[in-house]
Amino acid sequence: MCSCFDQTLAANPLRQVMRLAAPVVLPPKKRIRPTDWALVIGAGGQWRALRFGWAVDWSPQPLINGRQETLRQKAIFRGALERRVIVPAAFYVEWRAAEGGQRRKQALRIGPPEGAEGPLWMAALWDGAEAFCVITTAAHGPAAEVHHRMPVLLTGDQARGGWLSAEPYSAVADLVESLAPSPVAAGVVVSPLGGRQRTAGDANGAQGQLF
């Protein structure tokens, strides 16, 4: 699952790697949770601020993730398959039981190792209005030790030349539907995120749906 990620990023490298057409303005809030505004990159070197999570009529919680295994089958996603976007992230956050129990959970940073170039490039879909959802896949690599789902992570070339291309979804589907281990996912590092803990069910925890 991907319900929280960090956008503490350097604007100039983003613009250079993705060949953005305009200077980047990063969101004021760096730790992004459902309904927060985030920087999202679209086709043609365009970027925009969108909300994390689609509003849906069957739940008060936003739809934040879409399973890569069923994107073509779910009616809600079919029209969005040609509105592909990329969400850059310094890392994403998962939680697991902290030592000592008592329903306390420890925040974990999942992202590139220290000193690695560039952010994570997460595949996502735009609802055509003001929101996006992140595509997830079965977890593999180090992230699989924490959670059974993870965001689809692309290389910079895959993101720019494939996912954001003008090609129809059928031509780029393998980028997100392939079950082959992602080289990006294989290279992530899992580490404690400061001293942050929360109680299971804490209102400050991210809330959203995986569909």
Q: What is the pLDDT of residues 22-77, one digit of tens each?
A: 888 888 888 999 999 999 999 888 899 999 999 999 999 999 999 999 999 999 99
Per residue in 148-201, pLDDT (tens digit) is: 999 999 998 899 889 999 999 999 999 998 877 788 888 999 999 875 544 444
Beta bridge partners of 65: 134, 210
Distance in angstroms (rounded) separating the CA atoms of residues 173 and 3 = 23
Burial of 79 (0-12, 13-18, 19+ CB in 10 A): exposed
Q: Structure pTM?
A: 0.88
CB atoms within 10 A of CB 133: 29
> How many angstroms separate the CA atoms of 174 and 177, rounded?
5
Q: Cα torsion at 100, 101, 104, 107 (round to 10°)?
A: 70
